[in-house]
Amino acid sequence: MNTLIPETRYHAGVETQRRAVITICRWVYPVLTLTTLLAAIFYWLTESSSLLVWGEFFVMLISSIGLWIWRREKSRVSGGIICASFGMVCLLAFLQFGPLLDIGLMWFAWMLCVTIFYNRALWSVVLAGIAFVFVGALEQQGLTPGWAIQPSAFDWLRMLVTTIAVLGSGAWSFHIMQTSLVQALENESLAEAKRREFERELAKAQRLESLGRLASGVAHDFNNALAILMAGMDALRVEENEAERGRLLSNMEQAVKGGVATTRQLLSISKQGVEPALPTNPQQSLSPLLESLKLLFPENISIRSSLENSGHVAMPSGDLDQVVLNLCLNSRDAMPNGGELMISSGNEGDRILISVRDTGIGMDAATIKQATHRLFTTKGSGNGLGLALVKQTIEKFQGTIAIDSELGSGTTVTLSLPSIGRANQSPEQQISMAKSQPKSNQRKRILLLEDEDMLRDLYKNVLTSKGYEVKEAATIAQAVEALQLHSFDILVSDAGLPDGDPSLVIKQFRVAENKPVIICSGHVDSGELIKGLTQKEFKFLQKPFPMNALVDLIEQLVN
């Protein structure tokens, strides 16, 4: 390696070591510069040989200035200045004072600097040997100042061998230590990356395990909903009594709502929330979860709840649901003979507390201390990541977790999260309020981007009946073409289309002004859309939804 080792190829730990040496030298060099200046003046006043000392002074002065000029650069320039200037000072001091112990220590320090910045111990040994032979030859020719000792040629040979052996072995040992440190740090970094990847995979497996446990119950609920719908449609074909038809339609609507609730719960767990990173109201998020828990728990475990409308937390609904679901599954496993599970939420000052309490076997003090540690488990087949992942997720949103338990007396796990404001109105209430607002009679143009034909026709028919002018598009290309030909007041779009997500359409739609956009989808995968939803640039309706919800939201936005 012919230059300083680039930071991209060298471990950050050694780069930090080099920067530390540079920082020290920036402050030490001015002190040494002043010292050599005083020494040069002293030798000059005493009429002693001072030329070499003045040389040391100018080398230190120029190097000090250079280190501060390039203080914002990486270690390449500064390291070169330190190695070159320190080596020159060592050579001048050697010529001035001869083979003394302090000069030998200076050479050793220089060899360590070369090893630190260039990782080449052999270079420093060879250069030190050349300097030693050069100074020895000058001394034998009588070209050096008068030294306190006058070594013979044999003495010079002996000192050369001894110096190379001692200083070289020291520099080489430091080189091996530094190389080993780099390798150890790289191995540690690689091991940490593999551990995190392993934990991510285990977290996915745990999420899939939760979904797997829900699968049979979900299938049962969907079968019931589909049976009601099919029976209701058959009955509607022959039923003529209006009251009976109304009752059948009401039953079918309730069946659809049940299926919607189950679907949303599954999406929340598997997709980490329909609107990732949006604030969550624990009451609204956890209420559907309670219904899903009934599918997971045996009949000998009763489930109760006390959920207050306490406000919002920064944690997305999917994360919150998964955290509480993990705690509930732990509670279920802790009650093999049945018991009671209590889920509650409420305010305590500026924080929202969510607790899961069971009447299970409980834990002793030693188990509680290790409960949130990675890979610790009391289950023979567990992976030990349940509470560890809960703690990690909660702390990501400035939350804390507290465990209160005694053997035989059950366990209470309390999550504390900062409140980000109260939610006195749900989205449905806000839309309902918008109905009472005065409506403009002006005819509004809507660009409807939806790839599902039957759904697009349904949206168009309903919106047209409400007096809106609707232009349909099934793909992004069709929507872009429509925008080039017409202007629109509002964009209603699906989140996933055959030729991509609608981000391009939204940008072109909003070229002139920040017009309203409604995203209608079961879930959102696009990073661009998620960002817009997080920053409240778009409105969102989660499919499936009643048509009056779409109409009311459009009227709220355009009036």
CATH fold of 274-418 reads Heat Shock Protein 90 (3.30.565)
Per the document, the length of the chain is 559
Name the residue among 41, 39, 36, 42 with its Cα closest to residue 57: 36
Instruction: Kindly report the backbone phi and psi dihedral angles of residue 494, in degrees, each rounded to the nearest multiple of 5, phi listed first.
Output: -75, 160
Q: Output the six-digit token pair for 146.
A: 């008068």
Q: What's the one-letter identity of residue 379? A: K
Strand partners, 539: 518
Cβ pair 476, 505 in contact under 8 A? yes
Start and end residues for every CATH 3.40.50.2300 domain found in the chain: 427-558
Q: 28 to each of 31, 159, 240, 423, how far by Cα in Å? A: 5, 30, 100, 60
Q: Note the pLDDT of residue 292.
A: 66
Distance CA 544, CA 267 (A): 13
Start and end residues for every CATH 3.30.565.10 domain found in the chain: 274-418
209 contacts: CB under 8 Å, gap ≥ 6: none
Cβ pair 509, 515 in contact under 8 A? yes
Cβ pair 79, 94 in contact under 8 A? no
Q: Output the six-digit token pair for 462.
A: 């309903």
Instruction: Kindly report the backbone phi and psi dihedral angles of residue 544, in degrees, each rounded to the nearest multiple of 5, phi listed first.
Output: -80, 150
Instruction: Give the neighbor-by-neighbor strand order of the sheet with 411-418.
Output: 301-307, 339-348, 351-358, 411-418, 400-405
Instruction: Give the neighbor-by-neighbor strand order of the sheet with 539-542.
Output: 469-473, 445-449, 490-494, 517-521, 539-542
- DSSP code of residue 444: P
CATH for the stretch 427-558: 3.40.50.2300
Distance in angstroms between the alpha carbons of the first and the last residue of the chain: 70
Q: What's the one-letter identity of residue 401? A: I
Instruction: Kindly report the backbone phi and psi dihedral angles of residue 489, in degrees, each rounded to the nearest multiple of 5, phi listed first.
Output: -90, -25
Q: Output the six-digit token pair for 425.
A: 């109105």
Q: What are the DSSP calls for 127-179, one per residue?
A: HHHHHHHHHHHHHHTT-SPPPS----HHHHHHHHHHHHHHHHHHHHHHHHHHH
Q: Is the pTM above the cut of 0.75?
A: no
Q: ∠ CA 508-513-518 to the nearest 5 degrees?
A: 70
Cβ pair 106, 93 in contact under 8 A? yes
CA 175 to chain centre: 36
Q: ∠ CA 231-211-313 to the nearest 5 degrees?
A: 105
Cβ pair 547, 458 in contact under 8 A? yes
Instruction: Kindly report the backbone phi and psi dihedral angles of residue 3, in degrees, each rounded to the nearest multiple of 5, phi listed first.
Output: -135, 180
Mean pLDDT by 10 residues, the chain (559 residues): 42 66 82 86 78 84 83 68 84 81 79 77 77 80 73 75 74 74 74 79 67 60 71 81 82 72 59 54 80 75 88 80 82 88 90 92 82 55 56 86 88 91 48 45 80 87 90 92 90 87 88 85 76 80 81 85
Helix axis angle, 547-558 to 453-465, nearest 10°: 50
Distance CA 32, CA 50 (A): 16
Other C-beta atoms lying within 10 Å of the C-beta of residue 514: 7
Strands 411-418 and 351-358 come out as antiparallel
Instruction: Kindly report the backbone phi and psi dihedral angles of residue 349, in degrees, each rounded to the nearest multiple of 5, phi listed first.
Output: 70, -130
Q: Note the pLDDT of residue 528.
A: 78
